[in-house]
Amino acid sequence: MIRVATDRDRCIGSGMCVLIAPAVFDQDPDDAVVVLLDESPPETARPAVEQAVDRCPAAVIRLLPEPADRV
């Protein structure tokens, strides 16, 4: 499991995350701002989420560190 966070205040609704990882991200139909469908997607989603982090123009997606008890 990985942990994902988004900053909706600075999101510009570019749609890149939805293009790359549609199972994890969606957009609000009203303002196109990112909607996190799954805050803790499975490990298999990591490559797509990492790509979404890298390709988000507004840099509003973060992959959070593992909780301390799991490190």
Partner 1 sequence: MSLPALPLPDEDRQPFGPPPEYAALRTAPRLTRVTCPTGLDAWLVSDYAGVREVLGDGRRFSTRPGQAAHVLAAFRGPDSPVEGGFSQLDGPEHIRIRRNFAPQVSNPRRLAELQPLVEQITDEAVTRMLGSPQPFPLHSQFSTAITTAVIAELIGVPPDRRHLLHEAATALFTTSTTPDGLRRALEPLWAYLYELVATRRARPGDDVLSRMIEHSADSERPLTDAELTQMNGALLIAGFDTTASMLTYGLVCLLNTPGQWAKLCARPELAASAAEELVRYLGVGIGLLRQATEDTAIHGQPIRAGDYVVVAVQSGNRDTALHPDADRFDVTRRPGAHLGFGHGAHACVGQQIARIELTTVLRALAERVPTLRIEVPLHEIEWKRDSVVRGPAELPVAW
> Rule CB under 8 A: is residue 15 a binding residue for partner 1?
yes
Interface with partner 1 (CB under 8 A), residue from 58, 64, 65, 66: 58
Q: Are 61 and 38 in contact, with CB atoms under 8 Å apart?
A: no
Based on the shown chain and the rule CB under 8 A, indicate whether residue 32 belongs to the binding site for partner 1: yes
Residue from 61, 55, 53, 64 nearest 35 by CA: 61
Structure tokens at 62: 């973060």
Q: How many residues bind partner 1 (CB under 8 A)?
A: 20
Give the interface segment with partner 1, choosing from 23-31, 35-43, 63-71 (CB under 8 A): 23-31
